[in-house]
C-alpha cells in the first residue's frame, strides 16, 4: 500500500488513530511529551508509580484535547512484572504504536558513596525497565504489524560525564546503546528506535539533591550557549519528529536538545572581546 501524500507539511506529524505509551508521565518531561502527543492526535497510556501525584492532572490535560488517557500505576523497577503489565496494557488499549521510555531517576552521590542499592535502583529504572518494556512492546508491535516507534529519553550525560552522577551517566549511556541495538534488530519489522538526549530542563528531577541550587544553576547557565534551561515543552518538537511519519527514515539516531552545551568544548566565549556587528 502506498502511503498517502500529505497535503500540508504538518500532516506528517499527525498521530490521529495511534496509541502512545509514555512512562514517567506524572510530571516534568513525561507530562509535556504526553500532552504534545495528544496535541498531535494520539491517545495516551500514562504510566507512573502507583498513586503518583500529578498523573491525574496529566490525564486531564490529555482529555481536554479530546484524546483518550488511560492511567496505569506500575513501579518500573519491578522488572519481572513488566511483560505481564505490557500484555495487560495491549489487551485494554489495543495496538501500541509509540513507546516513550521517559521515566528516569537520579541521585547526586560521589563515586565512593554509591551503595549497591542506589546503583541497582538507578540501573533498574533507567536501563532494565527501558529494555524489558521495549522488548515486550516491540513484540506486540510485530504481532500487530504496527510500524512502531520506540523513543528513549537519555541525556547529554549519555555522551559526556558529569561528576556526582556515575550511576546515572552509566545508565544513560547503556540506554543509548541498547536503543541503537534495538534499532538494528527491529528495522526489518519497520519499527524505529531512537534516543532524545535533553540537556538541562526545568523539572523536579534533582529536587532532592543536596546542593546550593541557585549557585549551581547560575554557574550552569553560563555553560549553556542559549543561556538558560529548557522548558519541558521545548523538547516536544524533537519527540514528535521521532514519533511520527515525519521521522520514518530516522532510526538508531540520537537527537540532542541541550541549548548547545555539547557543542561547546570550553567557555571561551566569556573571554572573547565583545561582539561587534560587521554589517
Ligand atoms: N530534567 C532534566 O534536566 C533532564 C535532563 C536530561 C535527561 N532527563 C531525563 O528525562 C526523563 C524525564 O526526566 P524529568 O526531569 O521529567 O524527571 P522527573 O523526576 O520530573 O519525572 C520523572 C517521572 O518518572 C517517574 N518514575 C521514576 N521512577 C519510576 C519508577 N520506578 N516507576 C515508574 N515511574 C517512575 C517519577 O514518578 C516521575 O513522575 C528522565 O529519563 C531523565 O533522566 C532529564
Give the model confidence (pLDDT) of 88-131 as tens digits.
999 999 999 999 999 999 999 999 999 999 999 999 999 999 99
Cα-based distances in Å from 238 to 136, 170, 241:
25, 23, 5
Beta strands 69-73 and 149-153, pairing class? unpaired
Nearest Cα residue to atom 40 of ligand 1: 104
d(CA 107, CA 93): 34
pTM value is 0.97
Give the model confidence (pLDDT) of 183-198 as tens digits.
999 999 999 999 999 9
Neighbouring CB atoms inside 10 A of 185's CB total 11
Cα of 205 vs centre of ligand 1, distance in Å, is 6
Cα of 273 vs centre of ligand 1, distance in Å, is 40
Q: Does residue 36 line the site of ligand 1, with CB under 6 A?
A: no
What string of DSSP letters covers 21-81? EEESTTSHHHHHHHHHHHHTT-EEEEEESTT-TTHHHHHHHHHHTT--EEEEE--TT-GGG
Probe target for ligand 1 pocket from 47, 126, 176, 203, with the most ligand atoms within 8 Å of CB: 203
Give the model confidence (pLDDT) of 231-277 as tens digits.
999 999 999 999 999 999 999 999 999 999 999 998 899 899 999 99
The contacts of residue 193 (CB under 8 Å, 6+ apart) are 134, 149, 150, 151, 152, 179, 180, 182, 183, 186, 251, 252
Amino acid at each position: 500500500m502506498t502511503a498517502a501524500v500529505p497535503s500540508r507539511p504538518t500532516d506528517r506529524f499527525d498521530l490521529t488513530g495511534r496509541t502512545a505509551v509514555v512512562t514517567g508521565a506524572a510530571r516534568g518531561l513525561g507530562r509535556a511529551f504526553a500532552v504534545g502527543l495528544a496535541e498531535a492526535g494520539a491517545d495516551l497510556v500514562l504510566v507512573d508509580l502507583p498513586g503518583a501525584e500529578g498523573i491525574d492532572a496529566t490525564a486531564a490535560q490529555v482529555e481536554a484535547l479530546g484524546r483518550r488517557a488511560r492511567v496505569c500505576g506500575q513501579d518500573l523497577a519491578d522488572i519481572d512484572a513488566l511483560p505481564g503489565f505490557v500484555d495487560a496494557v495491549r489487551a485494554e488499549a489495543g495496538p501500541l504504536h509509540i513507546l516513550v521510555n521517559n521515566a528516569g531517576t537520579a541521585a547526586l552521590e560521589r563515586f565512593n558513596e554509591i551503595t549497591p542499592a542506589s546503583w541497582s535502583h538507578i540501573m533498574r529504572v533507567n536501563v532494565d525497565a527501558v529494555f524489558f518494556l521495549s522488548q515486550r512492546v516491540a513484540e506486540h508491535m510485530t504481532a500487530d504489524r504496527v510500524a512502531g516507534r520506540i523513543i528513549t529519553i537519555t541525556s547529554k550525560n549519555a555522551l559526556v560525564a558529569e561528576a556526582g552522577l556515575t550511576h546515572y551517566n552509566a545508565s544513560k549511556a547503556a540506554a543509548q546503546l541498547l536503543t541503537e541495538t534495538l534499532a538494528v534488530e527491529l528495522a526489518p519489522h519497520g519499527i524505529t528506535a531512537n534516543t532524545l538526549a535533553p540537556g538541562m530542563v526545568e523539572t523536579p528531577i534533582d529536587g532532592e539533591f543536596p546542593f546550593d541550587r541557585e549557585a549551581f544553576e547560575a554557574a550552569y547557565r553560563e555553560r549553556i550557549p542559549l543561556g538558560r534551561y529548557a522548558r519541558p515543552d521545548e523538547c516536544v518538537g524533537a519527540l514528535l519528529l521521532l514519533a511520527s511519519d515525519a521521522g520514518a527514515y530516522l532510526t538508531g539516531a540520537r537527537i540532542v536538545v541541550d541549548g548547545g552545551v555539547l557543542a561547546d568544548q570550553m567557555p571561551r566565549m566569556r573571554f572573547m572581546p565583545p561582539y561587534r556587528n560587521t554589517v
